[in-house]
Structure 1
Amino acid sequence: MDVTAKPPTVKPPHADCRAVSEILSRVGDKWTIQVVVALRLGSRRFNGIKRHVGGISQQMLTRTLKTLERDGMVERTVHHSTPPQVEYTLTPLGHSLVETAHQLAHWAATHRLEIEDNRLQYDARSS
């Protein structure tokens, strides 16, 4: 028996939860879904995305696009022209997020009044 062999690495059960939580935090932030939705119909340049996503700063849009590119949801294409033009396009992974966001938005719209009523009832009991 080889005593120098390393035991197999066992991943703690909460490791997957942390990874999933980090991804959910990313896609659930204020800007990610809005940027993804802005790109759902095709490529856009930076300022086109900025116009579509009201209230986002240039710095936050840059940060969001870089994060989405790093995660493989957005592809950045530089067109070598004068001046250089950059376009952003959703990848298949990004398109799959659009579908999920649409389902979540539909759920929220369907249950909005029920949730608002529950909040009013809760607040009345808590007063």
Structure 2
Amino acid sequence: MTSSKLEFSMQQCAQRLSATEDAIYVLGGRWTIRVMIATLGGHTRFNDIQRSIKGISAKVLSNELKKLEENLLVKRTVFAESIPVIIEYMPTDYSRSLRDIITALSDWGAKHKSHITNKE
């Protein structure tokens, strides 16, 4: 592949930077992707999510879930008729579009760790 095929025009670069900044705004927090992995992995109740993510506090998890709900990545459902009240956080169909991104990040992270630990 020639270097010209790898380069972006000024307009493409600006568009990619803007789109990447938007993605980082939504997903760039320390805990955000971890919370998405937990919900996409089937953890739907607050305590289950918190137990699945080592080190996250209840306050931080609550804020992350609110942010994800605002960005249409999880749907909060309250079952008020149950005692005690049950609240579930379900991944939306839209959030499933993150699976490939999360997989790519995970794969790259594993390769990077191997590259760093095996460097000469």
Find the counterpart in structure 1 of residue 109 from structure 2.
Answer: 108
Find the counterpart in structure 2 of residue 77 from structure 1.
Answer: 77
Q: Residue type of the partner of 1:114?
A: H
Find the counterpart in structure 2 of residue 98 from structure 1.
Answer: 99
Q: Identical aligned pairs, as a percentage?
A: 35
Find the counterpart in structure 1 of residue 52 from structure 2.
Answer: 52
CA RMSD of aligned residues (A): 2.3
Shift of 1:87: 0.3
- Contact conserved, 1:46 with 1:86, CA < 8 A, in 2? yes
Find the counterpart in structure 2 of residue 3 from structure 1.
Answer: none
Q: Residue type of the partner of 1:45?
A: R
Q: Residue type of the partner of 2:70?
A: R
Note the residue ranges of structure 2 that are not aligned, 5 or more in a row: 1-12
Give the SS at the match of 1:86: strand
State the structure with more CA Rg: 1
Find the counterpart in structure 2 of residue 10 from structure 1.
Answer: none
Q: Residue type of the partner of 2:87?
A: V
Q: Residue type of the partner of 2:56?
A: I
How has the CA–CA distance of structure 1 residues 22 and 116 changed in structure 2, closer, same or farther, with 3 Å as cutoff? farther
Find the counterpart in structure 1 of residue 68 from structure 2.
Answer: 68
2: CA distance between counterparts of 1:84 and 1:57? 21
Aligned length: 107
Task: Give CA-to-partner distance per residue, 1:45-102, whole Å, 9 cap, x none.
Answer: 1000000011101110000000000000001111122221100111122222132111
- Contact conserved, 2:26 with 2:71, CA < 8 A, in 1? no
